[in-house]
Chain A
Amino acid sequence: MDLFEYQGKQYFAKFNIPVSAGGVAHTVEEAVAEAEKAQYPVVVKAQVQVGGRGKAGGIKLATNADEVRLHAGNILGMDIKGHVVKRVWIEHASDIAEEYYASFTLDRAAKQHLLMLSAQGGVEIEEVAAKDPTAIVKLHINPIEGLSLAQARQASVDAKIPEKALEGVADMLVKLYECFTKGDCDLAEINPLILKPTGEVHALDAKVSLDGNAAFRHPEWEEYAATEELDAREQLAREKNLQYIGLDGTVGIIANGAGLAMSTLDVVNQVGGSAANFLDIGGGANAELMTAALEVINSDAKVKSIFINIFGGITRGEEVAKGIVEAVKRVTLRAPIVIRLDGTNAEEGRKILAEAGIPDSQLTSRPTMLEAARTAVALAK
């Protein structure tokens, strides 16, 4: 789960990482009120989960209420790379002497934590990596040993952080690591990490991605779920507890298992079609799940055909078939279904489908993934 900048900063603050005081605003008037609280000059920052806000005009400096009105008015509702700005963050403008970069992630290949640190911050780190890879220091940290202040200081020296900022940056790294580990982040990134003319080190931005699997020990994360930006289909799927991702194609996909669902997308693509979604209904594939899945797919106006791809393992073919027959009775579908049912007792399952009295125009059965994909794609054209 990705956090907005303002949420990331609030999260940082819990781990004593210095961030600017500020407030979030949904309207121009709220923005002015927050600016008065933060005291001028302030920065008006678009809250979107996409890079390149500054270049798109989503970050502006304001020295008085009129300027806040102007900028907040322009930024609220702005479209930045397909993300509409619904809120702005107003904070007191910081004086900047220097800009650095720091982040922690899990390096899956090394199976260790990874610190990336650079004295060149404020630009996209991918650009720095492309131009001058030696400008980024990478340090692997053993998850059971953690990061010591001495290691953090050495990494800062290696990254050529100037003497005057060394202590501040090292201290910041230890705190950010604490946030990353205890805070169950997939990513904790500060860019830019700034040195103020007064000598303090400060997080001017916050990019935090939380590990949803750790939600059970973070009840405070519930507030973030409320601001997550899902489209209507994704919202419905979440309510039904389905693993769903909306896409732009015309073939609705239902499969059991994440791998099989991904594979189904691939096969549809291979035979010249495009998937409207990714939907994994898990191992069970019973009538309730199937009904919920069909309801979600049905809510997508772009769907022209529905491809149900089920491989029966422990769940037997006849149980899956009964579930589908029941679901088709409950949902009035706008598009025809093509089903591929295979695995344990698939024959019996197909027999149930064939004898259920559902017209061919509504439900067709195909023996293999490839044939079913071809039929579904043809129906969607």
Chain B
Amino acid sequence: MAIFVDQNTKVIVQGLTGGQGRFHGLRNKAYGTQVVGGVTPGKAGQDVEGIPVFDSVEDAVKATGATASFIAVPPKAAPAAILEAARAGIGFVVCITEGIPAQDEARVYSTLQRDFPATRLLGPNCPGIISPGKCNIGITAGEIAQLPTATGPNVGIVSRSGTLTYQALYELKQQGIGVSTCVGIGGDPVPGTSFVDCLAEFQADPETHAIIMIGEIGGSAEEEAAEFITHHVTKPMSAYIAGVTAPAGKKMGHAGAIVSGGKGTAQGKMDALRMAGVKVGLNPTEAGSLMAEIVNSLR
């Protein structure tokens, strides 16, 4: 088991003929992901190294039975691409696009909620998702992910930050700890999938025995996660929050990472998570070591 995606997930790439889509789509395929098609309007009938290209998501789904979509198109086109995938019945949409206006993100989110509740959006502006050995959608380098073992213990990873997601994967690999699924939810103001969504899935997944969570300053997603953990998560957890030293009012790269009006500070988030029983590391390595301790106690 894994969460959201596994060996049976059939993926199409919206924007497969573009630079990013082609590069990452082919890498995902090489990893072993079932990349069954691509979508670029006006390019039906072409192929990208054997992967057939279709004019629309609807056509691609009809021809391939795709269940997931990987969106790698520019910010202007991404909102329409997400909704096109939802309309075609795609259940899991991964959007890596960076730079989508917040107003568009909010509208897309509300539209999915109202009209397409069966579609889950991961991202935008996220590194994607990997269930090691089974499926990799997005820009994660598959080789840094440790395969899960049949008996465990295996760890689920959920992260708001791209490079820190890799860092977490790497820390676990160094320790020889298997990963069930690693989800990068992205750092934008209105992510389609939240920490809470992922924690609920990990809690229910028999192959996941412990969870590591990487948060950052800004917003209240980590506080909401802490509240959820208190009531619904029984699996042991470690966490790291980036941005303890970030000055107020400055955007630290991600649109979402900003401390405003004394809210969204790393300290407040760490305190909330500690209260919920999560072991909080002061840097990514420490969060990894804390997870190693947890895993050893489960062995």
Q: Which residues of A contact B (CB under 8 A)?
A: 106, 108-109, 111-113, 126, 142-144, 181, 184, 186, 211, 213-214, 216-217, 243, 245, 247, 255-263, 265-270, 275, 278, 280, 283, 311-314, 342-344, 368-370
Contact = CB atoms under 8 A, between A and B. Distances in A.
B141 A313 contact: yes
B42 interface: no
Contacts of B111: 144
A108 B190 contact: yes
Contacts of A312: 141
A143 B285 contact: no
B244 A266 contact: yes
Nearest to B241: A266
Contact of B166 (A112, A142, A181, A343): A343
B189 A108 contact: yes
Contacts of A111: 106, 109-110, 190
A217 to B, nearest CB: 8
A313 B163 contact: yes
Contacts of A217: 76, 101
Contacts of B189: 106, 108
Contacts of A186: 102
B110 A261 contact: no
B139 A262 contact: no
Contacts of B220: 108-109
Interface of B: 27, 75-76, 99-104, 106-107, 109-111, 114, 139-141, 143-144, 159-167, 170, 187, 189-190, 214, 216-217, 219-221, 224, 240, 242-247, 250-257, 261, 266, 282-285
B242 A263 contact: yes
23 contacts: A106-B103, A112-B106, A112-B110, A144-B107, A144-B111, A184-B101, A213-B75, A214-B102, A257-B163, A258-B162, A258-B252, A258-B257, A259-B165, A260-B161, A263-B164, A265-B243, A265-B245, A266-B243, A266-B282, A269-B244, A278-B252, A343-B141, A368-B285
Contacts of A255: 163
Contacts of A368: 285
B186 to A, nearest CB: 11
Nearest to B240: A263
Given A106-B189, A108-B219, A262 B75 contact: no
A312 B144 CA distance: 10
Given A217-B101, A257-B253, A311-B163, 4 more contacts: A111-B190, A258-B252, A259-B164, A262-B216
A143 B141 CA distance: 36
Nearest to B140: A313
Contact of B284 (A216, A245, A263, A275): A263
Which 8 A-B residue pairs are closest in the complex by CB-CB distance? A259-B161, A258-B253, A257-B163, A214-B101, A259-B164, A260-B163, A262-B242, A143-B106
Nearest to B166: A313
Nearest to A280: B253
A311 B106 contact: no
Contacts of B170: 311, 342-343
A202 to B, nearest CB: 26
Contacts of B247: 245, 247
Of A126, A213, A216, A255, most B-chain CB atoms within 10 Å: A213
Contacts of A267: 283
Given A126-B261, A343-B166, A259 B160 contact: yes
A370 B285 contact: yes
A28 B240 CA distance: 53
A120 B250 CA distance: 29
Contact of B224 (A109, A270, A342, A370): A109
A108 B160 CA distance: 14
Contact of A270 (B99, B214, B283): B283
Contacts of A113: 106
Contacts of A311: 163, 166-167, 170
A344 B101 contact: no
Given A211-B101, A211-B102, A263 B283 contact: yes
A283 B24 CA distance: 13
A109 B242 CA distance: 19
Contact of A369 (B110, B143, B214, B284): B284
A211 B103 contact: yes
A337 to B, nearest CB: 19
Given A143-B106, A259-B216, A369-B283, A213 B99 contact: yes
Contacts of B187: 258-259
A106 to B, nearest CB: 6
A313 B144 CA distance: 8
Given A144-B114, A211-B102, A269-B245, A259 B217 contact: no
B27 A314 contact: yes
Contacts of A126: 261
A262 B219 contact: no
A108 B101 CA distance: 14
A345 B107 CA distance: 42
B167 A260 contact: yes
A344 B143 contact: yes
Nearest to B107: A143
Contacts of B217: 262
Nearest to A244: B253
A370 B102 CA distance: 35
Given A108-B189, A266-B244, A344-B143, A261 B252 contact: yes
A116 B253 CA distance: 28
A194 B217 CA distance: 36
Nearest to A2: B249
